[in-house]
Amino acid sequence: MQQFQQYIGGTFSDGSARFESRDPATGQVWAMMPEARAKDVEHAVAAARAAFHVAEWSGMTASGRGKLLIRLADLIAENAQTLAQLETRDTGKIIRETSAQIAYVADYYRYYAGLADKIEGAHLPIDKPDMEVWLRREPIGVVAAIVPWNSQLFLSAVKIGPALAAGCTVVLKASEDGPAPMLEFARIFDQAGFPAGVLNVITGFGATCGAVLTSHPQVDHVAFTGGPETARQVVRNSAENLASTSLELGGKSPFIVFEDADIESAVNAQVSGIFAASGQSCVAGSRLIISNTIKDAFLARLKEKAEAIVIGLPDDMATEVGPLCTTGQRDNAVKLIEKSVAAGARIITGGRALDREGIFFPPTIIDCSDAPNAPCLTNEFFGPVLSVLGFDTEQEALDIANDTAFGLASGVFTRDLARAHRMIRGIRAGIVWVNTYRAVSPIVPFGGHGLSGHGREGGLRAALDYTKTKAVWLRTSDDPIPDPFIMR
Ligand code: NDP
């Protein structure tokens, strides 16, 4: 059985305890993971705090940090196959996706490497003739980064990359579900040449590891990706250390198709939008909002495609939908579907967990026309389940799209340019994809509204979120300071 170790202060060690990791494709235990508890968290935060101040890191030039990040990107690319295989093994995410995603993860680190020496301060046109004032951009300090299991290498890259580019140090808590790729990532990181303690990678349970980390007095910023309920706990915990937070949370994203859309293209985008990653994607287009004039024809084509999807083992390149990562995910889908059907929703295809080894749930489509308040329209499944509602007018489509507590992503399919612009303006979400879906890039900010969280990852400004300004005042006059009792 494979054994993994945590990475603290540049050293690999066992955690205070260990726990089993199961292969979602078989349900069998395949590896033992280090479990970080309070003592390990203390150790990791102390290592990050020490590294933040050590001259080797705090005195390193920005371009020096950029060069180290480039080296890291190269190492990720060299080790891509191992990382992809481990992510597939431990989370059930199909090898087609993990292989493609890990190649892009290296590009994300390259992007942040390039940003390191572009984090600039400013000289201010101060309203006092005898003063010079400028702003220094300084790293915010020790960052606690917390990621869920669904795309850990990717979701950690958008935190570690900008944080290190800015000169921060990081304690990353991998999810207890599927942490293997992050612990292997630590081995690769160790070869890149960063000073010890600049990145520390631990894994453990929410209450005994995550909560200790996010409330730690030596943590300055918490970068969290996960569900809204955990985010609330993280925000409560961060009241202890008054750390700033960025929250990348879930979604119930609308996928709107007008009657003039390229139907085949929209069907394909919808298949990818909801069934890729077995629906375990924060930006899953999980609410199809479709013009009633084409609803029946569209659903017939979508059903055909959904039923043709190859369900199989995640390490098989032919597989299109693999297992869910945890039994909890499956049980949640089963429960929400039962409640939705009881509320009047109609299953078009799928709807039941597959009776086979592993945690498999088939692509599922539910017509919610007669169940306007059903959970399938309000709750995030984080599984391959698509809810469908028809509309008659553009305004109705917009109202349905915005009838959600989330606001992460959205898709609009139409050939009418003016209408596309009206929808772009009207939709409350951090992303609008027009005639496409699920495109991402390090260059583009990513984040949401409402229950989808706050803060943006990606893009130029992401690195600035890991800095604080220091205002420097310098008096240029040699005259004595006038009246000391008047503030000027
Ligand atoms: P959770 O919120 O359950 O867990 C996220 C992370 O938080 C895990 O590492 C978890 O650890 C940790 N955690 C749990 N409790 C605490 C605590 N009290 N304090 C600190 N950390 C804690 O999310 P899921 O794992 O279920 O992931 C799915 C969610 O993530 C979905 O809502 C999805 O939409 C969202 N997501 C958002 C993305 C975005 O960028 N907007 C991207 C991907 C997913 P442990 O696993 O050990 O419990």
Instruction: Write the residue with the smallest CA distance to atom 21 of ligand 1.
Output: 210
Structural tokens at position 361: 């749930």
386 CA from centroid of ligand 1 (Å): 22
List the chain domain ranges: 2-248+458-472, 254-434
Query: Residue 240: its pLDDT value, please?
Result: 87
The one catalytic residue in 168, 209, 282, 376 is 282
The model carries a pTM of 0.95
Please, where are the H alpha helices in 92-173? 95-115, 152-166
User: Percentage of the chain with pLDDT > 70?
Assistant: 100
226 CA from centroid of ligand 1 (Å): 3
CB 129: neighbour CB atoms within 10 A?
Answer: 7
201-243 pLDDT, tens digit each: 999 999 999 999 999 999 999 999 999 999 999 999 999 889 9
pLDDT-based confidence at residue 141 (cuts at 50, 70, 90): very high
- Strand pairing partners for 472? 134
CA proximity to 378, closest of 387, 390, 367? 387
Question: Where are the extended beta strands (E) located within 370-430?
Answer: 385-391, 411-413
The domain covering 2-248+458-472 belongs, at the CATH homologous superfamily level, to: Aldehyde Dehydrogenase; Chain A, domain 1 (3.40.605.10)
Cα-based torsion angle of the residue sequence 419, 283, 386, 341 in order, rounded to the nearest 10 degrees? -110
CA proximity to 145, closest of 455, 459, 470, 461? 455
DSSP state of 470: E
Ranges 50-64, 215-229, 369-383: which has the least confidence: 369-383
For 139, what's the count of Cα atoms within 13 Å in the CB-facing half-sphere?
Answer: 28
Q: What is the mean pLDDT of residues 463-487?
A: 93
Please give the C-alpha separations between residue 322 and each of 97, 182, 305, 362, 426, in angstroms, as whole numbers: 11, 21, 16, 9, 36
Q: What is the mean pLDDT of residues 32-50?
A: 98
Query: Residue 486: its pLDDT value, please?
Result: 84
Query: Residue 95: its pLDDT value, please?
Result: 97
Does position 487 have pLDDT exceeding 90, yes or no?
Answer: no
Does position 66 have pLDDT exceeding 90, yes or no?
Answer: yes
Does position 330 have pLDDT exceeding 90, yes or no?
Answer: yes
User: Hey, which of 230, 236, 382 would you mutate to test ligand 1's pocket, going by the most ligand atoms within 8 Å of its Cβ?
Assistant: 230
Query: Residue 483: its pLDDT value, please?
Result: 86
Residues 90, 314: Cα–Cα separation, whole Å:
10
146-162 pLDDT, tens digit each: 999 999 999 999 999 99
* CATH code, 254-434: 3.40.309.10
Residues with CB under 6 A from ligand 1: 146-150, 155, 173, 175-177, 205-207, 210-211, 214, 225-227, 230, 233-234, 237, 248-251, 282, 380, 382, 408
Residue carrying the six token digits 């004039």: 293
99-131 pLDDT, tens digit each: 999 999 999 999 999 999 999 999 999 999 999
User: Hey, which of 154, 175, 280, 382 would you mutate to test ligand 1's pocket, going by the most ligand atoms within 8 Å of its Cβ?
Assistant: 175
- Strand pairing partners for 288? 255, 388
275-288 pLDDT, tens digit each: 999 999 999 999 99
Residue carrying the six token digits 């993280």: 234
**Chain mean pLDDT for the chain:** 96
User: Hey, which of 146, 205, 209, 446 would you mutate to test ligand 1's pocket, going by the most ligand atoms within 8 Å of its Cβ?
Assistant: 146
DSSP state of 203: E
Q: Which residues have a Cβ under 8 Å from the Cβ of 223 and sit 6 or more positions away?
A: 143, 144, 145, 146, 159, 163, 245, 246, 455, 457
Residues 271, 250: Cα–Cα separation, whole Å:
19
Residues 73, 192: Cα–Cα separation, whole Å:
9
Structural tokens at position 179: 């942490």
Instruction: Write the residue with the smallest CA distance to atom 20 of ligand 1.
Output: 210
End-to-end Cα distance, the chain: 69
Instruction: Write the residue with the smallest CA distance to atom 16 of ligand 1.
Output: 206
| Nearest-10 crossing angle of helices 62-78, 95-115 | 160
Q: Is 176 a catalytic residue?
A: no
Query: Residue 211: its pLDDT value, please?
Result: 96
Does position 417 have pLDDT exceeding 80, yes or no?
Answer: yes
Q: Is 168 a catalytic residue?
A: no
Q: What angle (nearest 5°) sits at the alpha carbon of residue 84, between those of residues 82 and 87?
A: 105
Structural tokens at position 156: 């950690």
70 CA from centroid of ligand 1 (Å): 28
Query: Residue 146: its pLDDT value, please?
Result: 98
